Chain A
Amino acid sequence: MPKDGGIGASSKRREDVRFLTGEGNYTDDINLRGQAYVFFLRSDIAHGTLNSVDTSAAESMPGVVKIFTGADFTEVGSIPCGWQVTDRHGEVMQEPRHPVLAFGKVRHVGEPIAAVVAETLGQARDAAEAINVDISELPAVIDMKQAVKEGAPKVHDDLTSNLCYDWGFVEENKAAVDKAFEDAHHVTTLELVNNRLVANPMEPRVAVGDYSRGTGDHTLYTTSQNPHVIRLLMGAFVLGIPEHKLRVVAPDVGGGFGTKIFHYQEEAFCTFAAKACNRPVKWTSSRSEAFMSDAHGRDHVTKIQMALDADNNFTALRTDTYANMGAYLSTFAPSVPTWLHGTLMAGNYKTPLIYVNVKAVFTNTVPVDAYRGAGRPEATYQLERLVDKCAHELGVDPIALRRQNFITEFPYATPVAVEYDTGDYVATMDKLEEIADISGFEARRKESEAKGKLRGFGVNCYIEACGIAPSNLVGQLGARAGLYESATVRVNATGGLVVMTGSHSHGQGHETAFPQVIAEMIGIDESMIEIVHGDTANTPMGMGTYGSRSLAVGGSAMVRATEKIIAKAKKIASHLLEASEGDIELKDGAFSVAGTDKSVAWGDVTLAAYVPHNYPLEDIEPGLEETAFYDPSNFTYPSGAYACEVELDPETGHVTIERFAAADDFGNIVNPMIVSGQVHGGIAQGIGQALMENCSYDSEGQLLSASYMDYAMPRASDLPFYTVDHSCQTPCTHNPLGVKGCGEAGAIGSPPAVVNAVLDAMRSGGKSVDHIDMPVTPQRVWAAMNG
């Protein structure tokens, strides 16, 4: 029977009511008295010397308050990068200055050159048209392999080349890996592209800066997944504002998918300009601006090889990747192709020897950073495409080859520096075979063929590292921040609770799921618990939401704080019940003395804490409020197996997704309804990457896909109903909830299954090709079928 409440119940989301009635409070819904509007004049040239920015004509335009250029920001800090990678030669990465407004050079289309603050947005836009910008165009570097060639134009003149770093992992394993390839019975090689994407949360980014001359306080309202991170980065590294004078608020946020983790120039600008103009300054991104200023995702070019012995056991893996950084280093960009990618290359397999090389490259494109999955989709895609290719070269069943090489004993230390605590890859594959109805596939294929269509079936497995992250470990790996999470639990006198969390909800349903956990722990109704998040003024320092970390890390902090609450409440109850503290039990919202019928209700204990007339004041303080910071001891390792069935029209090359099944192991589950929704959304983004989406530049650095007319977002008619299952549960062993995280799995686990299915359909039509790059558009399929 489904539960009515608490852990494991599909509680309906309380936040839905305001979203369904137009009562949400998104950043663009915030309008401050006297606010002015900013319009950014952005470069339409990918690479050039910025000779001059003449604002004289624009300044006298109607409504103009003030116009800013790069010269106004030479005294403020660079937009910082939060991760420093050390390369295979022991050198730290090359790290360019990232100005708030371009100064000296422009380095990508969309880079802000000037900012007009005016009474209305229309006036700001009109005045921007009157700014005269003189740029001497330079050759742009777009292709990564060209960018690292000797003599290539340099994106940053003060760096030695366009190579950010050349990372080897694990460098000490390289010789042994190469030797294993020399000794291999069979080697499979695959070259592929992981296509550049744009995250596209439906809410564009917004920033509203405010400043009070009376108090010297700054406030920034922004579309962020982590307001405390923005406060620290912007305050300490860019604008020099101490944290106690800077409040960052991220109210309702309309989706993030990674792209709202990072600190952006527009946030620093609006905060800076609010003081300079002495009035609130608001910027709302248009969708076209979003395409050329939101950090992009993926964009890897990879060659991967597997060595196998005569019995089809994987003996070694090596992979060489070029990873696009874009023109500047976005907040977490260096970590994505390294520590979020190289460490996942073992996948679900007991390959004993692995070597990963990544060359991160600067190009004249928008910065690239984490997008849903961040490094793990890139690892999964290349590995799972490669394993399928191995199977076809060897003439064995792709599922059987996977099963043969599965890791089956846990904990398992991989050769790429992580230790999987739990998992059961056989169980998720068994479950997948059941829910995907593999036995019915041949009949469905015949039905398709009767209609003149080809039908294909593809599978893949995935493993991801979530619950980011153990601070001491990531510190050794180059993180310039800790990755703990925080929670303050404040119990009110009449028994209700408020949880102030550093996690941030932008669609994940924290306001519903977090109370389920506390309700279960105390035995009270979920409606007695409220979640507060998104405002640095009323939440403890926390690192926010990304990397499927909210419940595993933020939820664990909340559990720890609630445990402290319960421990103190038991002391109060023992006083009220005149019993030994060790005999007090908490069940169903009441404290009782073990073995007796004496009890006191939760609300009576909380009231005593705040009206301490009959209270052990000599032993404990009044009040009932506790804070906990939780730092995980390991990553969590969700895993699963996915299957896709496609139908391919050989006349047109058009591919449709007919069935999609996902068997995931997320450990324990708090709200199954929300978990299914997370997987659905991830799968849709993965199918989008596989079939439709592509962020495309021409050779001169012009962005060709800068609107929804050109960037193909998946629509309802592009997608099927999905079959998802998360009944395979191997609980995480090192966090108190046993949870692993579910936010990114769908996007990680779906692209290879789609491509594997398309290739299977082509084979069934008599056309065997080794690989087809994403997005698998009709044009590419038709060309491959007829090539």
Chain B
Amino acid sequence: MTQVKMTVNGKAASGDVEGRTLLASFLRESLGLTGTHIGCDTSQCGACLVHVNGEAIKACTMLAVEAEGADVKTIESMANADGSLNVIQQAFQDHHGLQCGFCTPGMIMSASALLKDNPKPTEAEVRHYLDGNICRCTGYHNIVKAIMAASGQDVSALAAE
């Protein structure tokens, strides 16, 4: 067992982990941050996507010990300070960008990283960026709409209902 220390959602966090423990498992099991989900074992689905030092990282691609000293943000930190939904989360609710909710934390974290780098993405750019996030419920239609709406674009004409 090795002790790891990092900052998670603005607070100091530490725990004893095996060398093989993934960051995703550390967040869920040691820290109880179960909003980060695990949907596959080949780093394909993106349900475990978090931000590590400001970068979008699938938490199943990183060992917990590799995150020593890192600044980690998870879905639990994304709402506004008063607990209300942030702009991206609100757009997902407004545009029905989620159904079962399992891929949703990864989608929100991914969308947040996208909009930081590309504040007004095109439809094609959104779809391309989401290549590493699989959703089985929505057919992506409303996720793409929600992300474009969160970026301040008018989506009413984009997709007929």
Q: Interface residues, chain A, CB within 8 Å of chain B? A: 12-13, 15-24, 26, 28-29, 31, 122, 200-204, 252-255, 257, 286-288, 435, 506-509, 672-674, 676-677, 680-685, 707-709, 713-717, 719, 721-725, 746
Contact = CB atoms under 8 A, between A and B. Distances in A.
Nearest to B139: A684
Contacts of A200: 136
A709 B44 contact: yes
Given A681-B136, A707-B42, A717-B130, A19 B34 contact: no
Contact of B102 (A254, A435, A716, A722): A254
Contact of B20 (A31, A122, A506): A122
Contact of B101 (A254, A680, A716): A254
Nearest to A505: B100
Nearest to B91: A20
B161 interface: yes
Given A286-B41, A680-B139, A708-B45, A716 B99 contact: no
A725 B161 CA distance: 6
Contacts of B102: 24, 26, 201-203, 254-255
B158 A201 contact: no
Nearest to B123: A721
Contacts of B104: 19-20
A201 B93 contact: no
B103 A507 contact: no
Nearest to A289: B41
Contact of B85 (A17, A682, A713, A721): A17
A634 B94 CA distance: 36
A21 B96 contact: no
Interface in B86-114: 89, 92-94, 96, 98-105, 108
A709 B42 contact: yes
B74 A680 contact: no
Given A12-B93, A507-B137, A716-B127, A20 B98 contact: yes
Contacts of A685: 136, 139
Contact of B41 (A15, A201, A509, A707): A707
B62 interface: no
Nearest to B33: A22
21 contacts: A12-B94, A13-B96, A17-B93, A20-B101, A22-B74, A31-B29, A201-B100, A202-B47, A203-B100, A254-B103, A507-B100, A507-B137, A681-B99, A707-B44, A708-B40, A708-B134, A715-B131, A719-B127, A719-B139, A719-B141, A725-B161
A669 to B, nearest CB: 12
B127 A287 contact: no
Given A201-B100, A202-B102, A202-B103, A16 B92 contact: yes
B69 interface: no
A17 B144 CA distance: 19
Given A681-B99, A684-B138, 13 more contacts: A13-B96, A16-B92, A20-B75, A20-B92, A21-B76, A22-B33, A23-B35, A708-B44, A714-B139, A716-B126, A716-B133, A725-B161, A746-B139
B135 interface: yes
Given A19-B101, A20-B89, A674 B96 contact: yes
Contacts, number: 194
Contact of B45 (A122, A202, A509): A202
Interface in B45-76: 45, 47, 74-76
A24 B45 contact: no
A24 B93 contact: no
Interface centre among B33, B78, B124, B159 (most CB of A within 10 A): B159
A21 B99 contact: no
A21 B39 contact: no
Nearest to B89: A20
Does more than half of chain B's interface fall in helix, strand or loop, or is it mixed?
loop
Identify the 8 closest CB pairs spanning chains A and B, nearest first: A22-B35, A19-B101, A254-B102, A684-B139, A507-B100, A708-B44, A507-B99, A22-B75
Interface of B: 18, 20, 28-29, 33-42, 44-45, 47, 74-76, 78-79, 85, 89, 92-94, 96, 98-105, 108, 123-124, 126-128, 130-131, 133-145, 158-161
B136 A713 contact: yes
Nearest to A672: B161
Contacts of B78: 21-22
A29 B85 contact: no
Contacts of B140: 680, 684, 715-716, 719
Given A22-B76, A203-B39, A684-B140, A677 B101 contact: no
Contacts of A715: 127, 130-131, 134, 140
A717 B128 contact: yes
B29 to A, nearest CB: 8
A16 B130 contact: no
Nearest to B141: A680
A255 B79 CA distance: 24
A673 B96 contact: yes
A21 B139 contact: no
Contacts of B136: 200-202, 255, 257, 681, 685, 713
B41 A16 contact: no
Contacts of B141: 677, 680, 684, 719, 721-722
Given A20-B93, A684-B139, A708-B42, A254 B134 contact: no
B105 A681 contact: no
B154 to A, nearest CB: 14
A21 B40 contact: no
A708 B44 CA distance: 6
A36 B67 CA distance: 27
Contacts of B44: 707-709, 713
A292 to B, nearest CB: 13
Given A202-B102, A202-B135, A435 B160 contact: yes
Nearest to A683: B139
B143 to A, nearest CB: 7
A708 to B, nearest CB: 4
Nearest to A284: B38
A725 B160 CA distance: 9
